[in-house]
Each structure stands twice: as structure tokens, then as C-alpha cells.
Structure 1
Amino acid sequence: MGRRLDWSRDGRDWPNRETSTFVRAAGFTWHVQRMGDPARPTLFLAHGTAASTHSWRDLAPILAAEFDVIACDLPGHGFTEPMAHGRPSLPGMARGLADLLAALEAAPALVVGHSAGAALLIRMALDRLIHPAGVVSLNGALTPFDGLAGRFFSPLAKLLALNPFVPRFVSASASDRAGVERLIRNTGSSIDAQGVELYRRLVADPGHVHGALAMMAHWDLDRLIEDLPRLATPLLLVVGDRDKAVPPEDARRVRRLARHATLETMKGAGHLAHEERPEETAGLIRAYAAGLGVACGG
């Protein structure tokens, strides 16, 4: 698997470091960030595949003015250890995250997920592991791949995750700044220099790459799509119309399947819309929370 990121070395200048703690739950240790007033409604943030808490570096402090904000690195990502037991499947990660929230004594009033993080939170709501007033999906990766990608992607990811040399190869080939900028550009987004450097730091680490590959290898969205019609929790689908990673049409499909879904489009934004335009993203989240009757602090 290769070395993992080390907090004392790689986390010295991590965004919002002063809010970080390490919590034992589900048999392994999680990196968690918590900010804002604990007396206010809790808002939980779940990042996407291959990201970490860094992706909320600008959005989380804005939301912390009105919420008790909690974010974590998902299993095998960033500074969180890999899952101790079982595979990082969608249901498995959902149960692990529920254990973490229990350890934190947190009952989120609103949950926000980016990309695969949105699928994770919807799975948790469907399985009644959380009971939020609403779920916000930011460019959610919620539908299975179509065509050849759907047929071959998961088996290929399994092979890549099982080969101990692959994470090192991927890290070596994608960890230069130009390579990372190219990866981000291919999502339809443009982010600041700090964001590029943090992604470079992550993909340079074989342990983080292995965590992302393992997650993709065991990520099955067919069941999620089947279950969407019974989702009782209100769902806000926020879509960047320049997203090149998840087709915007996918959100329209989800809106047709989920009974209580609404759609908001961020024009000119790509897959990392929440990093490109955190103020606008926060505004959409605040407005949705208010519409659901989730009281915010002043």
C-alpha cells in the first residue's frame, strides 16, 4: 500500500488545522474537523473520492458562522486510516460513518456531500443511519456508469486496488503540479494555487491513492438508484453546468426518481464548484436550510 500521510509532517499547514481532532470509531482512527457553535444545528460535510477535508477549506468556515460544522476524511483518505474490517463499500462506509457520528454524539440537522460523498449520505438516510431535515448533493456521483465504462470500470478498479505497485505508480505519475492541474482542469473546474498544492500532496501519497482506488473498486450505485424512489428525506441537487466528471443530466435523472428532490444549477461552475465559489455554495445551502426550517444562528 505504501506510506500514509503523517499529520506531524504533511498536516503542519493543513487548512483549518486548529479545528482538527482524531477520533476512534468503527475500529480505526478518523481525522475530523469541527467548527462553529455546538449549540447551533449540526451540519455534516462528506467529501468525494480522492479528496479530503481540505476541499471544504473555504466553505466550512463560512457555514460555521451559522452551524456546528463537522467534516472528516473518509476511510483511507487523507489522514483517516483505512477501514479495519470489511471492504470500503457504500453500505460499509455508511455504517462506519454512523459509528463516527455516534462517537461524536452528533445528530446532523443537514448533511452536504460532494460527488461520491453525496451517494454516501443518501445511503445513510435510506438506511435510517441519519435523520437530517435534508440532504444537499454537490455535483453528486449518484448513478452507475453507462456503456463500456459501467461494464469495465469496477472490475478494473478492483484489479488496480489489489496490485500493491499501482498506487505508487499513480502517485509518481500524477503528483507533479502540471499533472494535478491537468486532472483538475479535466473536471471542468479551476481552483486556486493552494487547492492545487493540497491535491498534489494527496495524490503524491500512495496510501491516499490506494484508499481512493479501494473505494472505487467497491462502489456499487445500482442499489442506490433502485432505492431512490423511497427516499423520504428532501434532497437538493446542486449542479455545475460545466461539470466534466459527472454529467449534469445525471442530476435530472435523480430528480425524476427521488420524490422530494429539487435542482439548482451553478452556471459556469465545474465539478469542484464548492471550491471555486464557496460563498455562492454557502448561500444555496443556507437558503435550503431555512426553507426546511433548520434554524441558523445570527
Structure 2
Amino acid sequence: MRWDTDGRHVPHKEWSQFVTAGGLKWHVQIAGPQDAPPLLLIHGTGATTHSFAGLAPLLTPHFRVIIPDLPGHGFTQKLNAPDPDNVARALAALLAELDVQPALILGHSVGAAIAFMLTAGGHVQPQGMISLGGALLPFVGMGKAFPGLAKALFVNPFMPSLFSFSTRFQSMPDLLQRWTGSRSSREQVAHYERLFRNADHTAGALSLMAHWDLDTIERSIAQINCPVLLLHGERDKTVPPSTSHTVAQRLTARGTRAQHHGLPGLGHLAHEEAPERHAHAVDDFARGLGLL
């Protein structure tokens, strides 16, 4: 995507800056008091910083928020072989360049998995993590087929353009609700329409999925020692809501403090549907850690 043509649609673009780190040019948004606890927000596959457009302003009174576009997404340069380890190392390089050590990390979907990889790999030492609809376990009935299917699509050079073209003839509100179980606002739907109709962004999302290793993510759970809050929309059609419950049980069984809360009436994009509710949950969790 090109900033000169698409940047005008970026929510909170006054927060945006471009940073070169780890061999990539990153688009990252930063806002909030300089002396506030740093909070890293990591979006999911196919999204960008826009996913936190409603939530982030509710967090900036208490936190210094750092919100990057993931590699190959939005305005961040693509990463060759974006497997979980490589993405975690690339994001760690960005944090080092920004001289930021997150006190708290919040990740949505695959973003939660990246948060786990960052922490399990020793790249960061947050005082707590928050998972929103975290894609942290192999999907029941899918196993290794999920990244395999994405790879089959990714290696076809025409598929990103074909997918982007095909979305022009489908109702994006219907697609989002069918894929995620969420009822998105008109503004959020417009953002996803622009993203899915951009072949470069679609290719970045497919590349991330094609190189994803759900078994590696699952193994990272055993390396998490900081407190974890797992929030999950009970109408989620993308990641089974039982995933967060299972991960909370595993963390608790090995002595890690973990809380799981199901969110009735919300889907996979729960934080976009109910940002105020999520902001309250983040603030309460941070207070419990002594960060606020």
C-alpha cells in the first residue's frame, strides 16, 4: 500500500511515523504520555493499526501505546518467510529501535500468538499480557491444514489479486459477520474493504498465514510466566471461544496467573465492537499489576 494514496484513510494518522528496524520499513503509531507505562498493541492477520482505532484513544490517558502494522500488512514492508520466530524477532528489532520495553502487551488473534512468542523467546519481559480472541492453539478439525491451505493460495501469484478483485462483488458486512461473528460498524467495514481490495495487503496476510506454525505457538504457552488476561467473544466464528478457556487452564496448571472472560454477544472483532468494555478490562488488569 502507498501512504501517498491510502494514508488519508488511516485513523489517527497524526500518530503515525515510519521507522526502519530489522531490515524493514515499519509503519507504527505512537501516542500517550511519554512517562506512562508502554503498552504494545498487536493486530491480527489481515488487519492494520485501524483495528485499534476505537480502543487506543481510550487507553492513551494511562498508557504510552505503540501500534505497528505487522510485516506485509498496511504500510509495513513485507518480511521473507514470516514464521512465528521471524515475526517475533522482527518486532523485537522495532522495539529496540524505538527504545521501548513494553510493560504490557495486548494482542488480537494472531497478534496474541506473536505476543506469546515475543515473551516466550525472551525478546521482552512484560509485566502482563492480554489476549483478545487469541489464535493460540491448532484449530479443532484443521490441524496443519490451516497454514497448508494458505500456502497453496500464497504460492499462486494470481491469488492475491483474484481475491482482492472478488471482494468487489461481495457484501463486506456480510463477509465479516460470516467470517468473524462480529457486527462491525460502517466505518470499520470501510477500512476492511480498502484493505481486502489491495492485492499487496492481501498477499501479506496470506504470506503470514502460509508460514504460520500453530504447534510452535502452542509450545510457547509453557514458557509464559507473567500474568495473562484472556478475553474472547462468545460469538467468535474465527477462533473457537474454547481456545482461551483451554489456554487459561494450561497456564494456571503450571502456576502462571491467568484469567479467562467470555464476552457474550461479541465476535472475533470484539474489541472493535465494544472498545469501552475492553478499555475497562485493560485498566483493571493493569491496576492489578500495579502499573496504574
Q: What residue number does 2:12 align with? A: 16
182, 198, 201: which one pairs with 2:194? Answer: 201
User: What amino acid sits opposite 1:39 in the alignment?
Assistant: D
Contact 1:110 1:133 in 2 (8 A): yes
CA distance in 2, matches of 1:68, 1:175: 37
- Work out the CA distance in 1 between the residues paired with 2:225 and 2:64: 24
TM-score by length of 2: 0.96
- Output the CA distance in 2 between the equivalents of 1:203 and 1:116: 17
Give, in angstroms, the shift of residue 219 of structure 1: 0.7
Deviations 1:178-220 (A, max 9, x none): 4321221021101111100000000000010000001001111
Instruction: Determine if contact 1:173/1:179 at 8 Å carries over to the other structure.
Output: no
Structure 1 segments, 4+ long, off by >6 Å, are: none
Structure 1 unaligned residues grouped into runs of 5+: none
Cα deviation per residue 1:221-249 (whole Å; 9 max; x = unaligned)?
A: 21222231331111110011111111111
Distance 1:257 1:131 in 2: 20
Q: 2:144, 2:214 within 8 Å by CA — same for their partners in 1?
A: no
- In the TM superposition, what whole-angstrom CA distance separates every residue of 1:73-115 from its partner, at most 9, and x where no partner exists? 00000111101xx410011000000000011111111010000
Equivalent of 2:92 in 74, 90, 98: 98
1:22-54 deviation digits (Å, cap 9, x = unpaired): 000110100000011111110010000000000
Could you say which residue in structure 2 is the equivalent of 1:269?
Answer: 266
- Aligned partner of 1:134 in structure 2 is 128
Contact 1:82–1:211 (CA under 8 A) maintained in structure 2: yes
Q: Normalised by the size of structure 1, how large is the TM-score?
A: 0.94
Within 5 A, what are the aligned runs for 1:173-188?
Answer: 173-176=166-169, 178-186=170-178, 187-188=180-181
Shift of 1:119: 0.3
Q: Which residue of 2 aligns with 1:64?
A: 60
- The CA deviation at 1:146 is 2.6
Would you say the 8 A contact 1:175–1:203 is kept in 2? no
Give distance in 2, aligned partners of 1:128 and 1:26: 17
Alignment-derived partner of residue 76 in structure 1: 72
The residue identity in structure 2 corresponding to 1:182 is: D
> Aligned residue for 1:47?
43
For 2:34 and 2:245, the matched residues in 1 are separated by 35
CA distance, structure 2, for counterparts of residue 172 and residue 22 of structure 1: 29
The gaps in structure 2 that reach 5 residues or longer are: none
Q: Secondary structure at the match of 2:262?
A: strand
Q: In structure 1, what is the equivalent of residue 286 of structure 2?
A: 289
Q: Which amino acid aligns with 1:123?
A: M
Secondary structure of residue in 1 paired with 2:291: coil
CA contact (8 A) 2:134 2:244 kept: yes
- Between the aligned residues of both structures, percent identity stands at 44
- Structure 2 distance, partners of 1:128, 1:140, is 20
Distance 1:175 1:52 in 2: 20
Q: Distance in 2 between matches of 1:159 and 1:135?
A: 33
Moved more, 248-257 or 129-138: 248-257
Choose from 18, 32, 41 the match for 2:28. Answer: 32
Residue among 272, 277, 281 paired with 1:280:
277
Distance, in Å, in 2 between the alignment partners of 1:152 and 1:247 is: 16
Partner of 1:112: 106
| Contact map agreement 2:139 2:239 (CA 8 A) in 1 | no
